[in-house]
Structure 1
């Protein structure tokens, strides 16, 4: 067996189940789960309709590269969304079966585990796939703490020793960030691109929350857009990962894409040909329809915007929450309401109010003597508006009791 399997941490939700062992919530309060970032808004009607209309596609093996129609739809969306003059659907776009699968597989393709001291940088807190992908590719993950003190939860690239940068082969960047909602600035991208050029590592930009934002006139800056604005229209050393899951409320569809550096994607396509992860033709047809439609995405944003606007003033007094740059999470500091740990907060909230949130320490690792998730909880506003409001009122009442 791969010895690195023993180094994998339990997933945050497995830790949450253990934390809640022995807890019996009040029977009179309906359970409200705000712990997992699984969209609960309705899937647009046209997506299942297109699926049903294309069931004939099940009779054919899909190509790993996907259909020309899907790659063209994605390329056209990228050009519209990020104001790019050109994206080549033949060489700069590759459909994937959800960004999670691709984020993991990418490290297996990019990392040379035979090189000494192979490193993968990742934000901290982080999406746990980054860590597992690094370990199973034979590299050592290095965590870059994102704290309130460090540029408002942004990355402090200067905190990474030069020796670590020299050994880095891959960096995962999540913008908008999970769980903080922080969006990288153009200046931060410029800094990172310069380091990638100097040290030769690849940037994996996880952008699965990019379409959950709050000002229709000011969408968040994306990685490919930043590269273009900085004169890097070949997207060298950069690959962006996106998905329909949050954008279109179809997490079960398992549909996304990677786009960017054609030379890197050429090798990733070779890897995926053996990996056996081609997207079903039926799903590809529905994905074309989803990427070509923006009306349902604007409505989805409206629902999230209204929830965040109504809930922020309820939670701010006790937890000091602020609306994120983008995304549907509140990153709440439980120390604002009482001297209590994030795990105790989550367990007692479940036991006393039947509301589930995720302890921040489950989303981070101790790095530099600090776990930047400690004393925070992640609140995912994914339920219907009424449920989210009720949960917010319960959380506020709990904070008052504390």
Structure 2
């Protein structure tokens, strides 16, 4: 579920609203004396894969059920696209070893972040950080080096650091429109200035309707709860897309799925979109995880298990292992324990290096197969402090109630920022928590 949501997330956001509601309902933790129950992105030596994941190892994806089907091009097969990305990264690394070029260094960072986003290769975050350090060392007075740092800080949810760096970049000559765009991305990730960002991005998309401007608008509309408008913008963006790379189109399908399932509470709309994403890019880790969770909810446990195993990689995204542990807990407890230990090792490594980026994902894990609800609540609070979005509130409320911290659950549910939630699942868990205030 980790991760990226709003365009800056490492992978997916927080547990689905339905999952948290089921957790709270199952625990009945709004009532004193209830039986306590629990439910709900690699090792320190994580290494980046040296070869692309073969599509033949993946679970075949069903044909898309999306009636709009806006993309009519013939995309490059996923395994070839992944191999091309790896080759581009290697080539740029070799060029930088021979000559210094800040633009090339920034392009390399973008490719590291892209590979992480789609393949869950979180060791690429380490590589991106190294490139930022080198950029600042070799170009200390160039605002583009600061912009690069702010971009990586934002991707790792270090939003305060990113905003400070953007202010520094502006002082040394960075273009105001570039600063504004990066700040908008941070605001969306934090649920701030949403109407303002939508208005500005709509003006740009109306005048220059491109894939980039329309996906930027759609992301803002999604964050603002304008789900139908966002969906139309996403679809129009794909209609404008003229390349053959599957990454951009798969990303749109995934974002639409996340929007309907995780933000609008309409999981049935998400299934064909997730299938579209993995049909275009079978190696798309987080899309497979999201789809597997919905397959599990539909009783297709064997399909979900095969799908999760197909994207399970040592040293990469720990979420497939986490969901596998949850899936197998009842019927295969020994295997479940093995996967839970693998996921824990992965999350602990990530929390040491990038605590803000993985606080929400790790919180979900510790609410479920990690079986440490106290830690889960602390991580949920850390995430909420960093970005007070509706989904961050939902995770924090759910963790509080599962820990029987009814006072805190009441405080969170009564927060003015949840007065009119756009997500129906947030409203349900808020109302359930409010009963503890009576």
Normalising by structure 1, report the TM-score. Answer: 0.31
Structure with the higher helix share, 1 or 2: 2
Structure with the higher strand share, 1 or 2: 1
Normalising by structure 2, report the TM-score. Answer: 0.30
